[in-house]
Amino acid sequence: MRKPLSALLIATCLLAGCSSSTDDSTGDSGAAPTGDYTVWDPYPQFDDGSDWVKLLTRCGTDAGVTVERTGYDTTDLTNKALLAAQQGNSPDVLIVDNPVVSTLADAGVLTTTDELKVDTSAVEPNLLAAGQAGGKTYGIPIGANTLALYYNKSVLDKAGVDPAGIKDWGGLSAALEKVKAAGKKGITFSAIGTEEGSFQFLPWFWGAGADLTRLDSPQGVAALTLWTDWLKKGYAPNSVLNNTQTTSWQEFATGDFAFSENGTWQLANAKKTGFEYGIIPIPSQAGGTAPAPTGGEFVTAPVQDDTARYAVTEKLISCLSSADNAFATDTTLSYIAATEAVQQKQVAENPELKVWVEAVTAAKGRTSDDLGTKYPKISQPMWTAFQAALSGSASPQDALTTAQTAAAAATR
């Protein structure tokens, strides 16, 4: 059941800045109108001279229209999209963080790709799933990022650790033990009590075979026990409780740590550390690559009263997601492409991306498995649980049992 927009609208959404689209048509004319088409995205860091905005302009020109683009902060963008839909002045194209898609779809804000006639057949199914709810698809991923393990080659060499031999949790913990014995620090990550912490916990949770609908399963407890054991044994610092992904990276950049759990977005910073680094996938408990959560945005189309606009909107979305444009855009955003063909092109251009393609291939959306808007109601109890266990105020089992009770009540 779709919820009324007023129920989902965040009260602090500012009226100022919610713009309306302009065009030369009125009503359902049956012909695609010309004029201005609005695009909202979460990339305020890109100005009019950036490659991203130039691409938007070119896509508009190719479609015979003028693109009016506005960049918002990610959190602000969701609020503005909900308010604009309530007021009947949604943008034509809306680019949002993938977990937001289910929220907007549930509110009746978005059209489906079937209605818009957007071809999603080339998109990797595990990436497309983040934009699906109730058997329908509500957008197309512009690309994806995810998590892996960066390592400091010098630290591992001194500890006698070959990163290529780390295939499971046992191998990783054994490597951390050797690193500590050699006088260095083991692994840093983010376990902060926010979505960033949940994002970083999920590869271990899913890598144990756990399911978000049962946080306190033996598999879920195993994942949290792994983290708590690392802190107890001194393999990971207590600072992980307050670390964001940025501060965690800053710890790794000191050169004292063997490993950092972090994302594709740190590649440029990795080159600036001054030490030789490498990257391996996050291992599953029993071996193989763990499913890490997908980050990245979806290109979506909000519902319009004038459905004739959809013909041009489809052209804009197809332009943004075309193979050539996706390659350039994903390079700019440090994303792995959503299609195998472009992924292969990325690896051919930069072999360093091979491990990230492997990680993205194994990844899954946080709202996948048809969790949709239930996911945030599960994530918060989950991060409360690992905070409790890591701080020593509860055992992993007790913390996750409490979390499961809270999540079950919130998702009824």
Question: What pLDDT score was predicted for residue 31?
Answer: 54
Residue 32 pLDDT level (bands cut at 50, 70, 90): low
- 2 burial (CB, 10 Å; 0-12 / 13-18 / 19+) is exposed
pLDDT value of position 7: 39
15: pLDDT strictly greater than 80: no
**In which band, very low, low, confident or very high, does the pLDDT at 13 lie, cut at 50, 70 and 90?**
very low
Q: If you average pLDDT over residues 187-203, what whole number do you get? A: 97
pLDDT digits (tens, 9 = 90+) for 53-85: 999 999 999 999 999 999 999 889 999 999 999
Token readout for 150 is: 């960066």
- As a whole number, mean pLDDT of residues 402-409 equals 98
* Residue 203 in this model has a pLDDT that exceeds 70: yes
Distance CA 251, CA 316 (A): 42
Distance between CA atoms of residues 361 and 294, nearest Å: 10
Q: Would you state the pLDDT for residue 14?
A: 26
pLDDT band, very low/low/confident/very high, at 35 (cuts 50, 70, 90): confident
* Model pTM score: 0.87
Q: What is the CA radius of gyration of the chain?
A: 22
Question: pLDDT, tens digit, for every residue of 81-109?
Answer: 999 999 999 999 999 999 999 999 999 99
Average pLDDT, the chain: 91
Q: What is the pLDDT of residues 310-351, one digit of tens each?
A: 999 999 999 999 998 999 999 888 899 999 999 999 999 999
User: Average pLDDT in the 122-138 region?
Assistant: 95
Would you state the pLDDT for residue 379?
Answer: 97
One-character DSSP codes across 319-371 = HHHSHHHHHHHHHHHT-B-SBHHHHHHHHHH-GGGHHHHHHHHH-B-TTTTTT
Query: Among candidates 133, 207, 77, 114, which has minimal Cα distance to 367?
Result: 133
Q: Tens digit of pLDDT for each residue in 258-271?
A: 999 999 999 999 99
| pLDDT value at 25 more than 80 | no
Taken in order of first residue, the domains within the chain and their CATH numbers are 34-141+297-334 (3.40.190.10), 147-291+369-410 (3.40.190.10)
Percent of the chain with pLDDT over 90: 88
Residue-wise pLDDT tens digits, 293-308: 999 999 999 999 999 9
Q: What is the mean pLDDT of residues 101-129?
A: 96
pLDDT in tens, 270-292: 999 999 999 999 999 999 999 99
